[in-house]
Amino acid sequence: MPGLFITGTDTGVGKTFVTILLAQALASEGIKVGVMKPISTGPASEDDARTLKKRLKLKDQLKLINPVHYKKPLAPLATEIESRKWRVESGKLREENRKLISKAYRQLEKKHDLVLVEGIGGVLVPIWENYFVADLIKELELPALIVARAGLGTINHTLLTIEALKRRKVPILGLALNGFSGKELSEKSNARIIEKISGLPVLFQLSQISG
């Protein structure tokens, strides 16, 4: 497996946290791991790509780790719609950014045994018009790991995420439930119900929800 795409059921569900944990675990096994955040939004001080580079002490250039960045903390499509450039050159800009992402990923793939790719928001976050995070996963030809919340409401969000990926024939490795406290009643049954309905394994549950 040359790479793995870490996606989530929502924004702030802990994708960066899980990406860091996986990268550290794989590196401890002697695997040369590359990490990528294809698209990021918001101020540089809150940028997940910079967090990944700093926490994992990545030597790759930031432009490879994060080839596309938008300054406003919005879905990428919303950011582009606000600009005159989107209205005038939306098609051209979309293709340029797709090429940047693809080129950066292929370069990282050549340099590392495995590349962990962290998505932005959930799988139906619009990147460009009629092009979603799920389409990016499909285009990169990667299996997905879904990060979901452990508590109440996660069954609906998780099954919708699985459905969107399956519709695009994206292989799903399994799920990680984050923010597990062991105190909330729904946490006791959520993993079992999700596994039973989806046929996918909950690979691990984490107590911390960060990033």
Task: Flag whether 154 is marked binding.
Answer: no
Task: Flag whether 48 is marked binding.
Answer: yes
Catalytic residue among 37, 63, 72, 85: 37
Task: Flag whether 120 is marked binding.
Answer: yes
Task: Flag whether 41 is marked binding.
Answer: yes
Distances (CA, A) of 39 to 56, 70, 88, 124: 18, 8, 22, 14
DSSP 46: G
User: What whole-number distance in Å separates Cα of residue 44 and Cα of residue 50?
Assistant: 8
Task: Flag whether 46 is marked binding.
Answer: no
User: What whole-number distance in Å separates Cα of residue 41 and Cα of residue 46?
Assistant: 9
Is 43 in a helix, a strand, or coil? coil
Annotated catalytic, 37? yes
User: What whole-number distance in Å separates Cα of residue 132 and Cα of residue 20?
Assistant: 24
Residues for the chain: how many in total? 211
Task: Flag whether 19 is marked binding.
Answer: no
Task: Flag whether 60 is marked binding.
Answer: no
Q: Which residues are catalytic?
A: 37
Annotated binding-site residue numbers for substrate: 41
Q: Which residues are annotated as a binding site for Mg(2+)?
A: 16, 48, 118
